[in-house]
Amino acid sequence: MKKLLLILLCLPMIGFGQIINDDKAQINPLTGIYNSVNNLEQIEVSKDQFSVVNFEPDCTTDFWTITLDGIIQKWSLINGAISADTVVFDTDSLTSLSYCGTGQPTFYCGAFPNYNIKYYDQATNSWLTLPTNFRPINNGGHNSHQYYMSLLGTSGQSMKELYYSDGINFSLIDVLDSIFYFSVADISVDNLGRAWVFVGYPDTYAGGTITTELRVYDSTGLILSYPISFNSTGAYGSFFLNNNLYFGQAGSHSIYPILIGGGSAQLGTPISFPYLNFGDMASCQDNVTGMTTNNTNNTTKLISVKDILGRETRQTNQLLFYIYDDGTVEKRIIIE
């Protein structure tokens, strides 16, 4: 999505990033941000003061949130506890967030329902627009590897489409089947350039969303899949930090690490994060090879892709069977 820079997208989430009322929370009159029960400090920085050059995040501890009214806040996760850092930017109206780049990283944000994303250009000290042929809702990226979620069709309300971009070209790498949709409103990209996304379906009995699968994609499509089960209602963001995958959930006021072992995934011990009013999450990633998640062991590996005649192929625009080393077979149609 970006032609000369690195690109990363940040898009709004439909129905997932929601304001949760809390009688112990107060609105900061300067920023309009909710100050939560543990008095996490808000530090205001004007647009003129923002500079990616002087920003210097620690990619082993720092992550960001963006509020529903466009405030980007930096946080630090150290020894299992989260502390507030600087409010780095007021974007006015942008509501989703990513941070990446192959040279000098910067923020990328979306403004759904527009067919574009915006990124902060340091040379001109302004937000520039990158057009797309789809309406991005959420995104993630590392270096030049970018991934985008979009609604299915022009009027659909479910996040079903996943796009890959190398910074110039876009390709549709998956469209979810039937009742399934991306159940956590974000994309996390590891330092090998792979996208990690959660997939689930609506809970027709209790309401909300049930997540059943953690999927891993590269530029060619689905490469790994881990079964997982949890109620992901209110899950608004995810990110990698220090080679670990996390996701945030407003309803539980927590961030959860994801633990992988024995070919499946599960939630780890929640980390308290009562700060409210988020719309998205993002982080930076060090360029460390061999990306792993917490307690990763015996992961399921893709061993072959075949068409309906049993021939080895990765040709798109047809039904394909993804065969894994644990005997799992998935049917996929990748449209380009």
Mean pLDDT lowest among 45-54, 141-150, 191-200: 45-54
| Beta-carbon count within 10 A of 169 CB | 9
pLDDT at 130 over 70: yes
Query: Which residue would you say has higher pLDDT here, 18 or 282?
Result: 282
Place 255 in a pLDDT band, splitting at 50, 70 and 90. Answer: very high
Average pLDDT score, the chain: 75
What would the mean pLDDT of 78-82 be, rounded to a whole number?
91
Query: Which residue would you say has higher pLDDT here, 264 or 299?
Result: 264
Residue 149, beta-bridge partner list: 138, 162
Q: 88, 72 in Cβ contact below 8 A?
A: yes
pLDDT of 24 reads 32
pLDDT at 326 over 70: no
Tell me, which fold does domain 26-291 have in CATH?
A: Neuraminidase (2.120.10)
pLDDT of 287 reads 60
Longest Cα–Cα distance in the chain = 64
* Percentage of residues of the chain with pLDDT beyond 90: 26
User: Nearest to residue 260, comparing CAs of 228, 303, 306, 220?
Assistant: 228
Enumerate the domain spans of the chain.
26-291, 301-336
* Percentage of residues of the chain with pLDDT beyond 70: 73
pLDDT of 176 reads 92
